[in-house]
């Protein structure tokens, strides 16, 4: 992320945080959200070297609060990266569990875990290959409630997955910083 993008994101966050805010979550609430992200993916192939790339992604999620602090849900994310002559796209379909702290305030931090699947497509020139694997990861973030039904979210998550492509295992670790909005159905 460039310095100009960081400054713009910080200015947006400060201006939105200056708005009046209301209460947070309770059991039975449903959350629908969308996020954008910038991150890094480090991949290594069995018997070979490793490479690190910058990635961007979009994510949509749905969650249900079983208690005012515990949320279960799922998400779908599309992430991509480009190098000189190759493109790689990732599609993640994952379930998550999040535990929220300070749920009676307008600033609600959380931690969580995720488990799911990833479909990967590699393209280089006229050649293309696909693979899939299982993902496992963790997350930490904070929800800033701007109204009773709307929050601005910031999250960092990390996930690991292994796929088999061309007979070799490839392991990837993705660290992603996300920012987004969520709407809550009460």
**Separation between Cα atoms, residue 93 and residue 97, nearest integer Å:** 14
CB atoms within 10 A of CB 185: 10
Query: pTM of the prediction?
Result: 0.83
Query: How high is the pLDDT of residue 168?
Result: 80
For 155-178, the pLDDT digits (tens) are 999 999 998 877 788 899 988 999
* Nearest alpha carbon to residue 181 among 4, 1, 19: 19
| Tens of pLDDT, residues 91-137 | 999 999 999 998 888 899 999 999 999 999 988 888 888 999 999 99
Domains and CATH numbers, the chain: 21-185 (2.40.160.20)
State the pLDDT at residue 99. 98
Residue 153 has pLDDT above 90, yes or no: yes
Question: Which residue in the block uniquely carries the two structure tokens 């992430």?
Answer: 79
């Amino acid at each position: 992320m460039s310095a100009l993008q960081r400054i713009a994101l910080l200015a947006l966050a400060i201006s939105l945080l200056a708005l009046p805010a209301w209460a947070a979550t309770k059991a039975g609430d449903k959350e629908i959200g969308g996020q954008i992200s910038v991150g890094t993916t480090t991949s290594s192939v069995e018997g070979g070297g490793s490479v690190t790339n910058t990635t961007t992604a979009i994510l949509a999620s749905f969650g249900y609060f079983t208690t005012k602090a515990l949320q279960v849900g799922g998400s779908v994310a599309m992430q991509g990266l480009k190098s000189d002559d190759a493109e790689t796209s990732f599609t993640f379909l994952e379930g998550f569990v999040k535990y929220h702290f300070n749920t009676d305030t307008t600033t609600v931090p959380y931690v969580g875990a995720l488990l799911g699947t990833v479909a990967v497509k590699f393209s280089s020139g006229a050649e293309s290959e696909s693979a899939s694997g299982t993902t496992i990861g963790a997350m930490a973030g904070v929800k800033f409630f701007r109204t009773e039904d709307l929050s601005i979210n910031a999250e960092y998550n990390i996930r690991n997955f292994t796929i088999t492509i061309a007979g070799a295992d490839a392991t990837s670790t993705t660290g992603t910083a996300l920012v987004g909005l969520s709407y809550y159905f009460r």
